[in-house]
Structure 1
């Protein structure tokens, strides 16, 4: 659609204050773990590719982009060669990408050096996948970063997009990042390079760390109900934070994005499907029960679930294995953040007082942290079910290793009788190390009494480490920032 150029130039000038030699307002001093990766791709790209920042709404993608812009300006990149444009804005959405670029160059003539294009909510650009592919192939003078809360182009243009963009998948804030933006003064915890380091600790190391971590538990529980969204994490009232989060998900994602991007018309059925998943967070998806309860047909429900995954509101985990085991099995569903379910249900702090709900929220948070930690390593997550309904909550397959995690967030001490599934899986697959995520800070350390293989078995002994959930989530977030992902 034809948009008056004067209006378009004026709109772009508002989004690009550096053209007027003005600083970027209200940028936080803290940076997400992904900043380092994005900055590297924009300054010294390992390959000629665009960068896709992919993730749910309100998790800090725009802030990350503007922090990168600020860093480029400080490094001496000419302001005229940097463009930020959000296609969530009606004026830019109507004008289209080519009109935006033309208005940019009328307002700011090109200066020698690369051009930097930061395109927010790029799913609203017409044929965005094809356009980005063309830019990467034929405009070597441009470095492009684009974001998407819902990116159909990733699937629709999968073949043409191969080798054209690098994806940085953003999750909500880790517990470590949450503590940083809250600027809390807490006892210092020892650093870890890898979870494997814990197997070399002495008993006194575990005791000292448990004592220091006592101050973290209350903040961890509040993190579970407040959520890892930067805006809501900083709101004083938990009820207000939950209302804001609910509005962002229900009103902006389900009612607006689903209609505008995917053409969904049965919004009420979609909302009911999402509410059903919120009530079954961390559980196996029973499609027959979902369809019967909501009175919708299976293909419709399947489509809704795929759309919710495309908008980064849920994760789906297949059963462990390959081939028929996966095809016949049911998916396990996790919400993108532990706070989503209590926010959608407006439960306030009630989750903390409900042992079962708190356990579910913790398992969701643990998965999110493990996903964020291992995602760049092409990890495959699944769950495992063995004999007599024995289960393991999470199995990560990364770098040729299989790493199982079982979440037991309850007051009771975790003994071997509660870990039959984990022990069975480790013995069956010859897994050297497994992890149990616990509640008590003193339910921490290497488990004893495990059955050991004989010399004839010719396999390594299994070690199982118990780790309190606040410490696991803290270390996963800290390691994401300070180290490269480990190989177990």
Structure 2
């Protein structure tokens, strides 16, 4: 039998040089150079270049949200800021040629490819790090050993990366979550933010004016809101008409199936992947609905104990978000036997089934899903829905002492602008909690009306979605920077 030959060092070095064209040209590949930057770019770049904090950056997020693109843009900006191009190394760990090579060996090969024995002021980027077994142990060792090197790693198996980063990277890694697009980012990337302007409304006599994002053309804005719900979670999709004609082939096969059929089974040892897939399809079709273990078991054919585990896995993979109820008194229930489940990105439903329209019976649920998805960019916020026998309120944020910070009823309708009394559950909840201000979404009406001592503030759903995404993003930047500087 002929002896099997390993991949030669010469061939590996040739591949490394191929992956780093800026060593010779000072430019990143032409297919990445013109792409517009996501709003998260500045925050990530600041974290990577904060050299006073000696940690590796772990860039994670769902598949196809633009992690590799943003890494190339980081390289572009490093060069623009004066970092020598030959001090930046980029390797795609998913390339078969790097199979079973440790990070330290790869660093040594990079140095050989550069004909440079030093590692001073070196930026090393490992893309798709999850393809290296025990990567977190390798990386932790590298951070300790090469204190003059700035390490950045990325991966699409978000659940696995988060788990291993938390277990092994304490004090050595700083996570950076790149989520799907917000509605604000969708408009930003498509150069449509000009549609909105800020306007002040003096609705509440005892408070400063309400500053709202409004437009002179609600039909156009709502048209883009519909496109966002159907296609807007992924940067590549919003610019590609071919993908929009067949989103299932792209999003389902390249994003959802890889998580459900490969990432989660390999991480948690799931054997029956079809069972997991069946349950996720039920959830996706009914995103925004209230579930309990019994109903979910009946619909999906999965036993209740297994459902508990699957829900935990799906939430860890950033595919779903579970909200638990509070009672009419805003107190949590002792047993969470009921809950709402939302897709973290509304366009996943479109990919699995079909694009939705304004008149679709499920459109209201997808508006609700889109709004909850914007809040998720803020991080771990105490969102709940309120529920009691005969009543429910869509969204409440609860303070640590179990008081409602804000109350929101999500509607895709203008009828409640003139008839707030029809919102009986909302009014009952507000009175019970002595809440003087409530918010209600509409289709295209900006309005204020006082009803039985309660200030009812109406804002179009698209405008609210934009504003929540914008403020969640701004608040996250502040929070993450404080954490980084305090570490």
TM-score band w.r.t. shorter chain: 0.7 to 0.9
1:6 matched residue in structure 2: 10
Q: Distance in 2 between matches of 1:340 and 1:381?
A: 22
Q: Distance in 2 between matches of 1:398 and 1:216?
A: 36
Q: Secondary structure at the match of 2:23?
A: helix
Q: Distance in 2 between matches of 1:290 and 1:388?
A: 22
**2:384 matches 1:385:** no
Deviation at 1:107, TM superposition (A): 0.7
The 1:157–1:29 alpha-carbon spacing in structure 2 relative to 1, beyond 3 Å, is closer
- TM-score, normalised with respect to structure 2: 0.83
Deviation at 1:299, TM superposition (A): 3.0
Q: Distance in 1 between matches of 2:334 and 2:240?
A: 42
**2:135 matches 1:128:** yes
**2:154 matches 1:147:** yes
Q: Distance in 1 between matches of 2:141 and 2:325?
A: 39
**Residue range with higher mean Cα deviation, 270-279 or 47-56:** 47-56
The C-alpha deviation readout for 1:67-119, integer Å capped at 9, x for no partner, is 11111111111223222223333333432323322211111225574222222
Q: Distance in 1 between matches of 2:74 and 2:204?
A: 33
Where structure 1 has 5 or more consecutive residues not aligned to the other structure, the ranges are 453-462
Where structure 2 has 5 or more consecutive residues not aligned to the other structure, the ranges are 480-487
Deviation at 1:482, TM superposition (A): 6.5
The 1:413–1:433 alpha-carbon spacing in structure 2 relative to 1, beyond 3 Å, is closer
Q: Secondary structure at the match of 2:42?
A: helix
The 1:113–1:291 alpha-carbon spacing in structure 2 relative to 1, beyond 3 Å, is same
Q: Superposed, which structure 2 residues align to 1:417-456 within 5 Å?
A: 417-429=421-433, 431=435, 433-439=437-443, 441-442=444-445, 444-451=446-453
2:348 matched residue in structure 1: 340
The 1:118–1:422 alpha-carbon spacing in structure 2 relative to 1, beyond 3 Å, is farther
1:33 matched residue in structure 2: 39
2:232 matched residue in structure 1: 227
**2:293 matches 1:287:** yes
The C-alpha deviation readout for 1:251-277, integer Å capped at 9, x for no partner, is 422233334444433221121111111
Q: Secondary structure at the match of 1:282?
A: coil
The C-alpha deviation readout for 1:16-56, integer Å capped at 9, x for no partner, is 22123252122244221211111111122573332222221
Q: Distance in 1 between matches of 2:204 and 2:144?
A: 43
Q: Distance in 2 between matches of 1:431 and 1:90?
A: 59
Q: Aligned match of 2:121 in 105, 114, 127?
A: 114
The 1:422–1:288 alpha-carbon spacing in structure 2 relative to 1, beyond 3 Å, is same
Q: Pairwise CA RMSD of aligned residues?
A: 3.5
1:473 matched residue in structure 2: 465
The answer on whether the counterparts of 1:318 and 1:331 sit within 8 Å (CA) in structure 2 is yes
**2:415 matches 1:412:** yes
The answer on whether the counterparts of 1:149 and 1:312 sit within 8 Å (CA) in structure 2 is no
2:188 matched residue in structure 1: 180
**Residue range with higher mean Cα deviation, 145-154 or 213-222:** 145-154
The answer on whether the counterparts of 1:154 and 1:161 sit within 8 Å (CA) in structure 2 is no
Q: Distance in 1 between matches of 2:65 and 2:352?
A: 17
Between Structure 1 and Structure 2, which shows a larger proportion of helix residues? 1
The answer on whether the counterparts of 1:50 and 1:144 sit within 8 Å (CA) in structure 2 is yes
The answer on whether the counterparts of 1:384 and 1:395 sit within 8 Å (CA) in structure 2 is no
The answer on whether the counterparts of 1:381 and 1:397 sit within 8 Å (CA) in structure 2 is no
The 1:130–1:421 alpha-carbon spacing in structure 2 relative to 1, beyond 3 Å, is farther
The answer on whether the counterparts of 1:227 and 1:339 sit within 8 Å (CA) in structure 2 is yes
**2:15 matches 1:15:** no
Q: Distance in 1 between matches of 2:89 and 2:425?
A: 53
The answer on whether the counterparts of 1:12 and 1:85 sit within 8 Å (CA) in structure 2 is yes
Deviation at 1:223, TM superposition (A): 1.6
Number of paired residues?
A: 464
Q: Distance in 2 between matches of 1:19 and 1:210?
A: 47
Q: Superposed, which structure 2 residues align to 1:163-178 within 5 Å?
A: 163-178=171-186
The 1:351–1:95 alpha-carbon spacing in structure 2 relative to 1, beyond 3 Å, is farther
2:483 matched residue in structure 1: none
The answer on whether the counterparts of 1:338 and 1:365 sit within 8 Å (CA) in structure 2 is yes
Q: Distance in 2 between matches of 1:419 and 1:302?
A: 34
Q: Superposed, which structure 2 residues align to 1:29-428 within 5 Å?
A: 29-45=35-51, 47-108=53-114, 109=116, 113-150=120-157, 151-156=159-164, 158-184=166-192, 187-190=195-198, 200-201=208-209, 209-237=214-242, 238-320=244-326, 325=333, 327-345=335-353, 347-348=354-355, 350-354=356-360, 356-372=361-377, 374-375=378-379, 378-386=380-388, 388-395=390-397, 397=399, 402-414=405-417, 415-428=419-432
- TM-score, normalised with respect to structure 1: 0.83
Higher relative contact order (CA 8 A, sep 6+): 1
The C-alpha deviation readout for 1:383-428, integer Å capped at 9, x for no partner, is 2224533333343659998233321123523443344444444444
The C-alpha deviation readout for 1:200-255, integer Å capped at 9, x for no partner, is 558xx98x945344421111112211232011111124322343112223442223
